[in-house]
Structure 1
Amino acid sequence: MGSDVRVAGDETVYGFSASQDGSSRVCQFLLDCPLFAASTLEDKARSVGLAYIKELKSGEVLFHKGDRAKTLFYLLDGRLALEGEPDKDTLGAGFYGEESVMGMPTYIAGLVASRACTVLVMPRAFIALHSRYAQFYQGIVDHFHRQLSGELVISEPSGSLALARVDNGMLVGWALSLCIPLAVFLGLHSLKSEGLLDLSDNGITYSAILGTCAVMWMFRLLPDYITGLFSILSAVLMGIAAPETAFSGFSSDSFFLAMGILGLSVVIKSSGLSYRLFIALLRIGPARKFWYNLSFFTVGGLLTPFIPTTNGRVTLVANLLPEILTGVPEKIRRAEGPRLKMNLLHGASLLSPFFVSSKSVNFIVLGMLPLQVQESFQWVSWFIAGSAVCGVMLALYLLLNLVMFRNRVSFVVPKSIVRSQQQLLGRLTGQEWSGLLGLAVLLFGLMFSSLHKLDIAWVAMAILFYLMMFGFLGQKQFRASIDWSFLVFLGSLIGMVNVIRETGIHLWLSDQLNFLVVLMDSSPGIFVVVLAISIALVRIVLPINATVIVFATLLIPLASNVSLNPWIIGFLILLFSESFILPYQASYYSLFLELTSSVEVGSQKKIFVFHCAIWLIKLSAVYASIPFWVHLGLLA
């Protein structure tokens, strides 16, 4: 459809210069036009060979009404008029033939040159190349709609021509990533030269590398897995550790266990099994808001042992919130929305420390425990040891839920809707059955590992093989849906811990913290408070995974000298590190808010207080569980 499109508020002519040849003008057009700002340079380069310049004489037709809409045009020079209406106002520089982008079969109006014109012609292959970019596609659709509504001037897409803004925080972060390791390296070498430090040269160098990693994690300069990969690759390239040590995480049992569980989680997610579970819970329970909240929490909780990333679980359950609140009166949404939101979020995250398979750092902490302790705290025994904390924490969480979010509004999802949804889902599909079978085998393997004597990592890999062999996990899903960045991060963290041990950094750090040994042994109650507060302060600047690694590296070796089982130290670090108050402190919280942004709920202040109270709940649950740990022999 022809339209007088002035993208920048006037008849801007992109890429037109009489002195340029055709390809140069196409190239300049692609660089200047804001609708192509999101397109990659490679796609722009491909486009130069697809688009071309066409000259029209006065009176020559660009396209007729009813012609097949297979080409998009941009008028660089001259004027156009609607076919059959030459006396009306002519049209200047802009896009024409938007029907070709929108999938319409024909042009709804014809255009003719009212005087000599220069037109950029963009055929179907060009359109297909750029239509996958929302900025291009939506921009063309907006042009079309505005022309139909009579609004001929189209504002520039937000940020399309704006100069890239420099993030001061990023600049500070990159500057510190260079300065901190240098300061660590020179400072430690100075201490060593004065006889005040007993650490090898490799240990000093790797400490500087770890300083860089800490800054990168603190300022979120790079994705976590790239920072982790940097730490072990640097160790190999600088001769600090052998490749067999630095990259040992990629051949560890934890790596293969995570890969198998990730494959199973892909099948669970793609099959819709979690949604079927949610509908079943709504169907069997009473039509009460208490049951809806419990169902939200339960779905996330049941996924926790089998989807080893909190972000993955949040992505899977987040769409349940708008589904149940869309169309609900604003009064109900603001009263009950915050509780539903918190139960959905914490159902997917609160139980992470209690299942060794729920997060990558859980595997790391398990690997840092002494070998004999590792063998004693596999999946089931890990959960049993933390079950008292879990039970007390859930009871207090329920009480907090009832007190903080109490309201008098009535909120009911009609059972007729739930029955219709369940009817549409029909019977379990083959993919859902395969997911259930995989879950059953994994649970059996975890619960009865002492009987079958098989490493659970290879049971998980056998499940993955079965899913791929019978086509429940296709080749495309295997490549695109498994979280490979998570696996790289996991392998890198395990390798990082092994390099720290090989260089002796952990022993040197432990020697500096001997005062904590006395505190652990003589006053474990005080130690718990000190640990919880210390982690809370560090979490202001460091993300969850980095915090866990720092504290586990420092404290787990100390536990071997006291009557406190090292597992308790690792568990407490995981439990308190998982706490957050503000979105930036947990990537999955930020992701959850983004995924549920379409649903506006009540006051954020109440949610802030709720998160602060959860930290106190965890601390109280730990103290209440001390007799249970004494009974198990984990604490003297």
Structure 2
Amino acid sequence: MAKDTHVDILTVLSEAPVLSRCQRQDIARLLPHVEERRIASNGTLFKSTQPANTTYLICSGTLALVFQGNEVDHLASGWVGEEASLDMRTYLADAIAVTPLTVIAIPSEVLLSTIPDTPVIISELSSSLIKHYAKSPQKIAVDSPEKQKKKPVPLMRPVGWLAALLVAPIVYYYGSTTGYDSRAVDFLAVFSITTIMWIFRLLPEFIPAIFLVLASVILGVVPTKTALSGFVSGSFFMAMSVFAIGAVLVRSGLTYRIALWLLKRSPESQIGYQTSMLLLGISLTPLLPSANARVTLTLPLLRDIIQSVRYKPGERPATGLAAASFAGAAIFSPLFMTSKSINFAVYGLFPAQVQYQFSWGYWTMAAAVAGLVLLLFHFSLSWLLFHNHDRPSLDSERLQSQLSIMGPISRDEWIALGALGLFLLGVLTTSLHQIPPPWIGMSVFFILLALGLLTNTNVRRDINWPFLLLLAGMISIVQTMNYLGLDNVVAHKLEWLGVYMRESIYQFLLLASLTIFMIRLIVPNNATIILVCSIFLPIAATQGVNAWVIAFLVLVISDGWFMSYQSTYYLAFRDGAEEGGEGLYDKRRMLIYNALMNLGRVAAIMASVPYWQGMHLL
């Protein structure tokens, strides 16, 4: 398409009803998905029996809407084909070109997902559609949005509810024979119901967590302060502030500008874009001590790149890009001491000499072989699961037009960039000013509110409150387990693994990995880390094994998961990728990728043994 055609399209989009009120980054997001269509006189743009999936803007020429043989409207500008964006199955009338016609075709799903104020555009398009037929003497039978067929109830759902009803009596029966404290038995009974809800996905993940917290308070299992500890924890406020910073980065257009910059400089291939997203996530890992935060910040960038290169959501290339984004932000966390707050907790369990030995740089150096193995597994699995022969459809001229639309960096973008920089700087200098990272994040959150970059609507819509409720619930569950002494009970059951640490390090690492995977089916990640480390670190000291090796094993393996409920940051990634309707990636392939990456985690540990022996850590 010629450059001057781009200018015409930009002019029409910028001056169109509804779109004229959009910010420039919204128009830039639309540009890769629109196309110009020319219809000769008496030609048909669409028919009433045709499935409605595209909305049109008239650039030039005139068009007649013909309903049952009668002309109901005559148009020379504005919208037509609004039915597509109003979720109607077919168009109501035939659209016939009276004179040579030029229109801009906009896929309805792109239009609705790109414009932030979706209710406004739906209202405007509804009014436009009504005006077309207002003068028609005939009664228009407007088809309602396609009725959702009632989905059959999956067989596993009633099985799950039955299991949830039966598991508590079983726990009470066996609990009464073990001599456990009655409060611990109450908690285990409710926890077993909660776990069944998570495994069978009977309800959204945050609801079972709230159920467990509520039951703990009502049954008097622990003091209310302990049961609700997650809602006043630093992690809760850290996640909230990161969601807010991420929302400002998106709304200001900064993430889209970065996406365009990456696209312009990345090799134009699937592996090129995947590598860029992977390296971006890895570069954020030592700077931002929360996998949830990194996932949240990179998601908007992922969405923008998928749209810009015209990957079809759910297809292999889009799923491969999503896997690269997720892996970069989450899977490489154990390689850096500052990547997660739990890493600092584990560091605090080390003997003094090990703490002195493992500085930030030495930690990463000791993890280098494991990191290389994880990289090798990632690229191999990406090629096997996601690669095809499709090439990204990136129009370099259009990309330049998008950058031109964006113009120079705006005030909001500078503020968003400053907020991110202030947050990262504050986190990196925590040892100097002694302000915990969550309160640095909340301070930045307050600044953004005070400057007006976040409104009441933004706070309600752009912060993932269901995820925050889940996170708070999970933290409360861990604190409740610790209060009841259940962590010590589990620790006692696993002492037998220490024998293998002395006799065969490879067997120990394999058995420990399998054990951690089993524990993670029912115990949250952080609880598993503290629990297993508290068991094996003292044993390691007596067997000549460096405490860091055991801690690193636990961090790598416990970070693995098989079902989505096991990983809060994957839930944040999945939910964020589903915002606005259709998901960005194929969930089944993503879960297969993750399951195979768990093998990569074990392989990374095993491959590191000779390297660790050379460093005298074993």
TM over 0.5: yes
- Would the aligned equivalents of 1:169 and 1:219 in 2 still touch at CA under 8 Å? yes
Who is 2:167 aligned against?
180
Q: Which residue of 214, 218, 232 corresponds with 1:251?
A: 232
Matched, 1:505 2:466: no
202-211 or 467-476: bigger deviation: 467-476
Native 8 Å contact 1:548 1:573 kept in 2: no
1:561 has 2:561 as partner: no
Distance 1:611 1:155, change over 3 A: same
Please give the residue correspondences for 1:575-594 in structure 2 after superposition, counting only pairs within 5 Å: 575-577=559-561, 587=571
Give the Cα separation in 2 of the matches to 1:268 and 1:466: 14
**For the residues of structure 2 that align with 1:378 and 1:252, how far apart are their CA atoms?**
27
- For residues 538-553 of structure 1, the aligned pairs below 5 Å read 548=525, 551-552=528-529
Instruction: State whether residues 520 and 527 of structure 1, in contact with CA within 8 Å, keep that contact through their aligned partners in structure 2.
Output: yes
In structure 2, what is the Cα distance between the partners aligned to 1:591 and 1:499? 27
2:595 matched to 1:618?
A: no
Aligned equivalents of 1:164, 1:609: Cα separation in 2 = 25
Q: CA shift at 1:214, angstroms?
A: 0.8
Instruction: Note if contact 1:356-1:382 (Cα within 8 Å) is conserved in structure 2.
Output: no
Structure 1 vs Structure 2 CA RMSD: 5.1
* Cα gap change, 1:226 to 1:283, in 2 (>3 Å): same
Residue 200 of structure 2 is matched in structure 1 by 219
Q: Give the secondary-structure state (helix, strand or coil) at the position aligned to 1:318.
A: helix
Matching residue's letter, 1:561 = P
- C-alpha deviation, 1:500, in angstroms: 0.8
Q: Which moved more, 1:289-298 or 1:227-236?
A: 289-298
Contact 1:300 1:349 in 2 (8 A): yes
Identify which of 262, 267, 292 aligns with 1:281. Answer: 262
8 Å CA contact 2:250, 2:300 repeated in 1: no
The equivalences for 1:319-330 within 5 A come to: 319-325=304-310
Please say if residues 306 and 318 of structure 2, whose CA atoms lie closer than 8 Å, have aligned partners that are also in contact. Answer: yes
Which one of the candidate residues 321, 328, 350 is aligned to 1:343?
Answer: 321
* 3-state SS in 2 of match to 1:239: coil
Matched, 1:169 2:156: yes
Among candidates 210, 217, 220, match of residue 191 of structure 2: 210
Which runs of 5 or more structure 2 residues have no equivalent in the other structure? 1-81, 87-92, 94-118, 541-546
Match of 2:43 in 1: none
Instruction: Name the CA distance, whole Å, in 2 between partners of 1:409 and 1:205.
Output: 55
Distance 1:378 1:435 in 2: 32
Match of 1:264 in 2: 245
Matches within 5 A, 1:228-243: 228-243=209-224
Judging changes above 3 Å, is the alpha-carbon distance between structure 1 residues 285 and 536 closer, same or farther for their aligned structure 2 residues?
Answer: same
- How far apart are residue 503 of structure 1 and its match? 1.0
How is 1:79-90 mapped onto 2 (pairs within 5 angstroms)?
A: none
The alpha-carbon distance between structure 1 residues 596 and 407, as it changes in their structure 2 partners (threshold 3 A), is farther
- 1:530-585 Cα deviation digits (max 9, x unpaired): 3545566788xx5xx856367447534312432144632541234322788xx9x9
Total equivalences in the alignment: 485
Hey, what's the Cα distance between the residues in 1 that align with 2:224 and 2:595? 43
Structure 1 portions without partners, runs of 5+: 1-97, 103-107, 109-130, 193-198, 327-332
Post-superposition CA distance 1:407-458 (Å, at most 9, x none) = 6776563432222211111122222222222222232233333333332222
Conservation of the 8 A alpha-carbon contact between 2:167 and 2:192: yes
Tell me what 2:406 maps to. Answer: 425
Provide the secondary structure at the position in 2 that maps to 1:446.
Answer: helix
> What is the one-letter code of the residue matched to 1:446?
V
Give the conservation status (yes or no) of the 8 Å contact 2:213–2:476: yes
The 8 Å contact of residues 310 and 392 in structure 2, kept in 1 or not, is answered as no
Instruction: Please name the residue that 1:78 is paired with.
Output: none
Structure 1 distance, partners of 2:584, 2:428, is 42
Structure 1 letter corresponding to 2:600: I
Distance 1:392 1:492, change over 3 A: same
2:438 corresponds to 1:446: no
Instruction: Report if the CA contact (8 A) 2:169-2:189 is conserved.
Output: yes
| Residue 482 (structure 1) shift | 1.7
Normalised TM-score (structure 1) = 0.62
TM-score for both structures, normalised by structure 2: 0.63
Q: Secondary structure at the match of 2:309?
A: helix
Contact 2:270/2:317, CA 8 A, preserved across alignment: no
Contact 2:553 2:605 survives alignment (8 Å)? no
SS at match of 1:477: helix
1:184 CA displacement:
0.5
Please tell me whether the aligned partners of residues 270 and 387 of structure 2 are also in contact (alpha carbons under 8 angstroms).
no
- Letter of the 1:576 partner, please give it: G
SS in 1 for 2:293: coil
- Which amino acid in structure 1 is aligned with residue 326 of structure 2? A
**Given that residues 174 and 221 in structure 1 are in contact (C-alpha distance below 8 angstroms), is that contact kept between their aligned partners in structure 2?**
yes
- 1:180 and 1:212 in contact (8 A); partners too: yes
- In structure 2, what residue type is equivalent to 1:572? V
Q: Is the 8 A contact 2:309 2:393 kept in 1?
A: no
Q: What is the alpha-carbon distance in structure 2 between the residues aligned to residue 405 and residue 172 of structure 1? A: 34
Classify 1:317/1:152 alpha carbon distance in 2 versus 1 (closer, same or farther; 3 Å).
Answer: same
Q: State the distance in 2 between where 1:339 and 1:257 align.
A: 33
What fraction of aligned residue pairs are identical, expressed as a percent?
22
Shift of 1:394: 2.0
2:450 paired with 1:485: no
- Cα displacement (A) at 1:228: 1.6
- Separation in 1, partners of 2:347, 2:493: 20
SS for the counterpart of 1:222 is: coil
Partner of 2:556: 572
- Residue aligning to 2:42: none
Closer, same or farther in 2 for the Cα pair 1:391/1:229, shift >3 Å?
Answer: same
In structure 2, the residue corresponding to 1:394 is in which secondary structure?
A: helix
Q: 1: distance between equivalents of 2:615 and 2:364? A: 13
Cα-to-partner distance string for 1:144-179 (whole Å, 9 max, x where unaligned): 99x99x99888886656x778555433222222221
Name the CA distance, whole Å, in 2 between partners of 1:500 and 1:608: 29
- In the alignment, the residues of structure 2 paired with residue 408 and residue 225 of structure 1 have an alpha-carbon distance, to the nearest angstrom, of 40
Secondary structure at the aligned position of 1:413 is classed as: coil
Q: 2:397: which partner in 1?
A: 416
Larger-gyration structure (1/2): 1
Equivalent pair of 1:300/1:347 in contact (CA under 8 Å): yes
Q: Partner of 2:559: helix, strand, or coil?
A: helix
Inter-partner Cα distance in structure 1 for 2:143 and 2:558: 50
Q: CA deviation at 1:526?
A: 2.6
Tell me the amino acid that sits aligned with residue 293 of structure 2.
P
Distance of 2:275 and 2:415 partners within structure 1: 27
Letter in 2 for 1:228: A
CA contact (8 A) 1:184 1:208 kept: yes
Post-superposition offset of 1:357:
14
CA gap 1:519/1:448 in 2 versus in 1, 3 angstroms:
farther
- AA at the equivalent of 1:244: K
